[in-house]
Amino acid sequence: MRTAYTADQIRAAEHALMARLPEGTLMQRAAAGLAAVCATALGRVYGSRVALLVGGGDNGGDALYAGALLARRGARVEAVLAGSRTHERGLEAYLLAGGRVAGVMAVERADLVVDGLVGIGATGALREPYAELARAANAAPALTVAVDVPSGVDASSGRVAGAAVEAQITVTMGAPKTGLLVDPGAARAGAVELVDIGLGPYLPAPDVTALTGADVADLLPRPATESDKYRRGVVGIAAGSDLYTGAAVLAVGGALRAGAGMVRHVGQHAPVAQVRSHWPEAVVTELERPSIDGVGRVQAWVLGPGLGTGAWAHEVAASVLASDVPVLVDADALTLVSRDRSLLRRTAPVLVTPHAGELSRLIGAGRAEIEAGRLEHARAAAAELGVTVLLKGSTTVVAEADRPVRVNATGTSWLATGGTGDVLAGVSGALLAQGLDCYDAASCAAHLHGLAGRIAADGAPLNAADVAAAIPEAIRRVHDEG
């Protein structure tokens, strides 16, 4: 499992470790690791041009010491001193090694730019001249390597309030920072390289985690020799309407592909007919009235894809949410519960799967604000609503009260197409019916869905049905990794 930490957690661990080491040891370790990554990125150090963007804090010191090591190997290293003060010992070592001080033009002629402008404690928008230097680095043809986090990215949240360095590589010290795993910060980080400086024994419980394929394989249920369709999980799917028939087809397809023992679909005539045509293995019930009474045994429900938002859909939602099994609330059902919060007053578990706009309606925050601060708003929604939240988007996050937020790293931008969320709902519902709790079901489903998107796209456009079809291959791959 990958773990990440806030700036405060990292600083506390650093202080605990520094109390046991000679002064400057941690910076020397960090600088050596940074220089090694830069050397690998350059390929040939001797004769290369390196520009250092140096702020007044420890990240600037890391950059200067790393610059000294590169200068000793024959690189032409130029430092742009941005702060009103500079790390004195770092600058001294840098100049003794043959490094030079230069202006911003050094960035334009560099083969590699090292971003050491601000450290992990910085918050808010970059001030000048830092913002100008960040823009210069982004405009330069050189590869950019960030120290710890790209300047302008909030290390604890991934927020980007203004100009920010767009790094191709981020060399993070001691442990990954939360902002490197969550957009919009993650999009500025590039490939993240971890330098071990000895913080491990001093780190607390993580702020954020990300499941690996092996983690997902450990969590996924496997059928035993005595399994039957009921023991493998029966998922009910209340989805589709006369207007939106495809949503039901896609949700049912996701559930079937994810290993549910049985899928029961309930809905109006048009979606029922489509589901029966596409998925003859599904058990379908055309509802004569908006109630699930008499539908049969169900171990978890998926509620909402394409259901509509009128009175009929509201009564179906009320009937499903009155059950005593876990319910996933998606799409149109999110609109229904945003209008009528009383629908969520239940003792059985609830998983909601909104995108930013749907979460905006649920908690009253602006969509842009949610996109900028995905972690905090997912956490706030989980606490306020008493549910598990899977917030979809460029970084999918799963939040539940009193547990670390999980982020998903397997997605692809090709998944930004209609219907893929319906497939995700079906996969999540299948895992709920197979016995995973909301936190694990949402996390595993997001991982498999993202991986299936990559498999289906293979660098080209995809459609939602392609993603559903790729779910079994995604499951095979995580089992291979496990």
Domains held by the chain: number: 2
Question: Does the annotation place 121 within a ligand binding site?
Answer: yes
Work out the pLDDT band at 223, boundaries 50, 70, 90: confident
pLDDT at residue 398 greater than cutoff 70: yes
Question: Does the annotation place 90 within a ligand binding site?
Answer: no
Does residue 258 sit in the same domain as residue 127?
A: no
Tens digit of each residue's pLDDT (9 = 90 or more) over 438-454:
999 999 999 999 999 99
Does residue 242 sit in the same domain as residue 339?
A: yes
Distance (Å, rounded) from C-alpha 132 to C-alpha 142?
16
Distance (Å, rounded) from C-alpha 79 to C-alpha 317?
62
Question: Does the annotation place 394 within a ligand binding site?
Answer: yes
Distance (Å, rounded) from C-alpha 172 to C-alpha 62?
11
Dihedral over alpha carbons 329, 330, 332, 335 (to 10 degrees): 70
Q: Which of 206, 233, 267 represents a domain boundary (last residue)? A: 206
Question: Does the annotation place 5 within a ligand binding site?
Answer: no
Question: Does the annotation place 393 within a ligand binding site?
Answer: yes
What are the residue ranges of helices labelled H in 282-437?
311-321, 332-339, 356-363, 367-372, 374-385, 420-433
Instruction: Return the pLDDT at 458.
Output: 87
Does residue 150 sit in the same domain as residue 233?
A: no
Percent of the chain with pLDDT over 70: 99
pLDDT at residue 224 greater than cutoff 80: no
Question: Does the annotation place 304 within a ligand binding site?
Answer: no
Please give the backbone phi and psi of residue 463, each rounded to the nearest 5 degrees, phi first.
Answer: -125, 170
Question: Does the annotation place 123 within a ligand binding site?
Answer: yes
- Give which of 50, 59, 51, 36 is closest to 150, Cα–Cα: 59
Instruction: Return the pLDDT at 269.
Output: 96
Instruction: Report CA-CA distances (Å) from 213 to 190, 295, 300, 333, 478.
Output: 21, 36, 25, 31, 5
Helices (H) and strands (E) in the chain, counts: 18, 18
pLDDT at residue 202 greater than cutoff 80: yes
Question: Does the annotation place 120 within a ligand binding site?
Answer: yes
Question: Does the annotation place 396 within a ligand binding site?
Answer: yes
Percent of the chain with pLDDT over 90: 95
What is the pLDDT averaged over residues 441-470? 95
Does residue 56 sit in the same domain as residue 81?
A: yes
pLDDT at residue 228 greater than cutoff 70: no
Work out the pLDDT band at 394, boundaries 50, 70, 90: confident
Q: Which of 206, 230, 251 represents a domain boundary (last residue)? A: 206
Q: Which of 206, 225, 260 represents a domain boundary (last residue)? A: 206
Domain boundaries, position 74:
2-206
Distance (Å, rounded) from C-alpha 245 to C-alpha 307?
9
Which structure tokens are listed for 471?
A: 């779910």
Q: Are strands 208-210 and 283-286 parallel, antiparallel or unpaired?
A: unpaired
Question: Does the annotation place 125 within a ligand binding site?
Answer: yes
Does residue 20 sit in the same domain as residue 162?
A: yes
Does residue 186 sit in the same domain as residue 170?
A: yes
Does residue 162 sit in the same domain as residue 295?
A: no
Mean pLDDT, the chain, as a whole number? 96
Work out the pLDDT band at 60, boundaries 50, 70, 90: very high
Tens digit of each residue's pLDDT (9 = 90 or more) over 170-199:
999 999 999 999 999 999 999 999 999 999
Question: Does the annotation place 408 within a ligand binding site?
Answer: no
**Number of Cβ atoms within 10 Å of the Cβ of 402:** 6
Does residue 194 sit in the same domain as residue 282?
A: no
What is the pLDDT averaged over residues 218-244? 86
Question: Does the annotation place 395 within a ligand binding site?
Answer: yes
3-class SS at 329?
strand
Tens digit of each residue's pLDDT (9 = 90 or more) over 405-449:
999 989 899 999 999 999 999 999 999 999 999 999 999 999 999
Work out the pLDDT band at 83, boundaries 50, 70, 90: confident
Question: Does the annotation place 122 within a ligand binding site?
Answer: yes
What is the pLDDT averaged over residues 331-335? 98
pLDDT at residue 158 greater than cutoff 80: yes
**Number of Cβ atoms within 10 Å of the Cβ of 419:** 21
Does residue 97 sit in the same domain as residue 187?
A: yes
What is the pLDDT averaged over residues 227-235? 79
Question: Does the annotation place 265 within a ligand binding site?
Answer: no
pLDDT at residue 231 greater than cutoff 80: no
CATH number assigned to the domain comprising residue 342: 3.40.1190.20
Does residue 159 sit in the same domain as residue 219?
A: no
Question: Does the annotation place 148 within a ligand binding site?
Answer: yes
Which residues, listed in sequence order, are joined to residue 284 by a DSSP beta bridge? 265
Tens digit of each residue's pLDDT (9 = 90 or more) over 375-393:
999 999 999 999 999 999 9
Which residues, listed in sequence order, are joined to residue 198 by a DSSP beta bridge? none
pLDDT at residue 227 greater than cutoff 70: no
Is 424:394 a contact under the CB 8 Å cutoff? no
pLDDT at residue 6 greater than cutoff 80: yes
CATH number assigned to the domain comprising residue 46: 3.40.50.10260
Question: Does the annotation place 215 within a ligand binding site?
Answer: no
Which structure tokens are listed for 378?
A: 């997912």
Work out the pLDDT band at 400, boundaries 50, 70, 90: very high
Side chain identity, residue 16: A
Work out the pLDDT band at 289, boundaries 50, 70, 90: very high
Does residue 25 sit in the same domain as residue 120?
A: yes
pLDDT at residue 71 greater than cutoff 80: yes
Question: Does the annotation place 167 within a ligand binding site?
Answer: no
pLDDT at residue 482 greater than cutoff 90: no
Which residues, listed in sequence order, are joined to residue 398 by a DSSP beta bridge? 390, 406
Question: Does the annotation place 355 within a ligand binding site?
Answer: yes
Question: Does the annotation place 247 within a ligand binding site?
Answer: yes
Does residue 198 sit in the same domain as residue 154?
A: yes
Question: Does the annotation place 285 within a ligand binding site?
Answer: no
pLDDT at residue 457 greater than cutoff 90: yes
